[in-house]
Chain A
Amino acid sequence: MTDTSTTASAPAKPRNIIASLELDTRLLGMIGAFIVICLVFNILTGGLLDGRFLTPRNIFNLTIQTASVAIMATGMVFIIVTRHIDLSVGSLLATCSAMMAMTQTVVTPEWLGLGLNHPATAPIAIGVGVLTGVLIGAFHGWIVGYLGVPAFIVTLGGLLVWRNVAWYLTTGQTIGPLDHNFTLFGGIDGTLGPTLSWGFGLIAVALAFYAMWRGRANKGAHEFPVKPLWAEAVLGALVAIAILGFVAILNAYEIPGPRLERLFEARGEVMPEGYTSGYGIPYSVLLLIAVAVVMTVVAQRTRLGRYIFATGGNPDAAELSGINTRLLTVKVFAIMGALCGLAGLVASARLSFHSNDIGTLDELRVIAAAVIGGTALSGGLGTIYGAILGALIMQSLQSGMAMVGVDAPFQNIVVGAVLVVAVLIDIIYRKRTGAKV
């Protein structure tokens, strides 16, 4: 702290390209690291241009493998930002998954008399799963916020309790097969198809442009400085390329011929000669995108989000500003629980059954994703997109090493080391830029 106010009138720094674009340099660093990882694995699996890592098939698989952990990681950002931790998310996922599995294999067919693959089955099961997560999460939050037990302890207990509640609910059995509509959220069995994927991509680009235009107009209305138009155009082009490129890659992963034939047969049609089709965007990835957008809006544009970050930055200040930090803790853990329910949906749908060990060790993956994504354990700092990128980096490392043929123990050794190094780099970066660590 200096004791002069002359710093207030320091001249504006010369603007370089990144400054003009107003991009987050941390985000750029993470994207850079991610690209390097992808290129290295591509070279190791066959060469820069014909490697097996950056194929549509592998990218498609990466996205569906990441979805479950990434969904939970967005909630973990809020937990860690408020200076708490949640060690129970993997077990909570298992309990939610068990509740959903029992709902659709026992409750809806036997108690409610709904037939096989009844359209109401999946919504009921998903509702039960998310509600289970919300209630358990809120209960954790109540013990932490109102009774004052540290979150580490509450959720360490929760890790044991909910893993075994799941076991008790299912008597340790694997529960399946699951409802057809339910398993659509698993990945490869439920995708939008090429046409709808393109439509989704175009709508997303249009919404992104609209948001950028609104932001610019709003700043103009208050006579705040706005980015130069060229910067806005470059940014818009990058966003459009990213979204449409992503859609193009997922569309380029083609459904195998025999599988397509079966799809036509199921509809009572004959497949035209030479017909091909891509998978497009999986529903699980759509769910992740929806979660990411909602959580980002909550974080940046709502009172709840503002209070979460204020409480993480200075709990006393938040309390003195009239924020009910105890209730806030309950809400944050309830959100985490709801996301565990959704993650349980994706995870069990992907397997097409509920297994006893579902979500084991996910708590560590989720925390690692959030932390690699720039969430500071000291509280007050973190982003939703960072956590998702963190989850993607973790998953890329894991499956890349598996493709290259690295032995299982070395895979985990590398992932563990990367976690520590990533946080170290982050701390050094923040010290350099003068931000509070």
Chain B
Amino acid sequence: MSTNAAPLVELRDLQKSFGGIKAVDHVNIDLKAGEVVGVLGHNGAGKSVLMKMLSGALQRDGGDIYINGEKAVINNPRDARRYNIETIYQTLALADNLDASSNLFLGREMVSATGLLDDNAMEAETRKIMHRLNPNFRRFHTPVSGLSGGQRQSVAIARAVYFNAKILIMDEPTAALGPHETQMVADLIQELKRSGIGIFLIDHDVHQVKNLCDRANVMKNGQLVGTVEVDKVSSDDLLGMIIAGKNPPSAIPGPGALA
């Protein structure tokens, strides 16, 4: 990867307030292709709000987003999709009453020549992508409300991967999963990373972040505490940043937080 190319994503000076509360306060974060960047912090630190501005679910009050060095216009989820930004929300954003393929193609259905939905073609595509991501998955005709947490997660991830996500935002992807399924998702993240996708990983779990991320950004009270390369800090350093807002010596100075 050439080092002088513009980063995949540059979040610059992003701001968002709800009433008098500054949920995100002048935050700068970067993401490169093939990189997993963690966004950490307590509940209410502003992680999800920050990511929702990138995914178009929330409109920002100020600041700019650059994709591949160019200023991006993202005002709603449809805009974000045009930049190949896909989001896996903590709630998974699945319609529980629909089956896997209806959810995978929701908003981007395949239609036949008659203009009617081509459910068979969508199911065939779903079977292909699910075979790659979760070979044990068999329940293609069950509403996703009947699936296990890991199965639901794999449907949500398949949705992002199928549509050629270049930028993937994962909001606590393993929070509701058991150890076996957590490992499955971790393997999946490694595979996506190898294929050159840039991933923002929102997480509480410091060990998870140490395992999966290249760099980590810590937020507290809506502000960016600092950015670190996870190899160069200990779990305790990260906890110190989250709890006390105290940067270790190796923290990368902003703005942009890229070395």
Contacts and interface: CB of A to CB of B under 8 A. Distances in A.
A306 interface: yes
A303 interface: yes
Interface string A280-317: 00000000000000000100111100110111111011
A312 B180 CA distance: 32
A218 B95 contact: no
B127 to A, nearest CB: 9
Contacts of A381: 97
A25 interface: no
A417 interface: no
Contacts of B93: 314, 316-317, 320-321
Interface residues of A, number: 41
Interface in B135-188: 136-139, 143, 145-146, 148-151, 176-178, 180-181, 184
Contacts of B117: 300-303, 306
B124 A3 contact: no
Nearest to A323: B107
Given A224-B123, A310-B106, A321-B77, A5 B97 contact: no
Contact of A5 (B78, B145, B184): B184
Nearest to A319: B77
Nearest to B137: A8
A435 interface: yes
Given A302-B116, A314-B93, A5 B57 contact: no
A110 B120 CA distance: 55
A310 B97 CA distance: 7
Nearest to A215: B120
B16 interface: no
Interface string A2-14: 1111111110000
Nearest to B156: A317
B107 A321 contact: yes
Contacts of B98: 306, 309-310, 313
Majority-rule SS of A interface residues: helix
Given A320-B93, A380-B96, A3 B150 contact: yes
Interface string A173-208: 000000000000000000000000000000000000
B148 A224 contact: no
Contact of A322 (B78, B111, B121): B78
Nearest to B145: A436
Interface string A246-285: 0000000000000000000000000000000000000000
Max count, chain B CB within 10 A of own CB: residue among A221, A317, A434: A317
B201 interface: no
Contacts of A320: 55, 57, 77, 87, 89, 93
Interface in A373-387: 380-381
Contact of A306 (B55, B109, B146, B184): B109
A111 to B, nearest CB: 39
B97 A222 contact: no
A239 interface: no
Given A314-B96, A435-B143, A5 B102 contact: no
Given A5-B180, A322-B78, A219 B57 contact: no
A30 interface: no
A17 to B, nearest CB: 19
A300 B117 CA distance: 8
B218 interface: no
A408 interface: no
B84 interface: no
Contacts of A219: 120
B94 interface: yes
A49 interface: no
A436 B120 contact: no
A29 to B, nearest CB: 19
Contacts of B106: 306, 310, 317-318, 321, 323
A356 to B, nearest CB: 41
Contact of A224 (B111, B120, B134, B151): B120
A147 interface: no
B114 to A, nearest CB: 9
Interface of A: 1-10, 218-219, 221-222, 224, 297, 300-303, 306-307, 309-314, 316-323, 380-381, 434-436
22 contacts: A3-B148, A3-B149, A4-B148, A4-B181, A5-B136, A7-B139, A8-B134, A8-B137, A8-B151, A9-B136, A218-B120, A221-B120, A301-B116, A310-B106, A313-B97, A313-B98, A314-B94, A318-B107, A321-B93, A323-B106, A323-B107, A434-B146
Given A7-B139, A222-B121, 6 more contacts: A4-B178, A5-B181, A297-B116, A300-B117, A320-B77, A435-B146
Pick the 4 closest A-B CB pairs, nearest first.
A3-B178, A313-B97, A313-B95, A321-B107
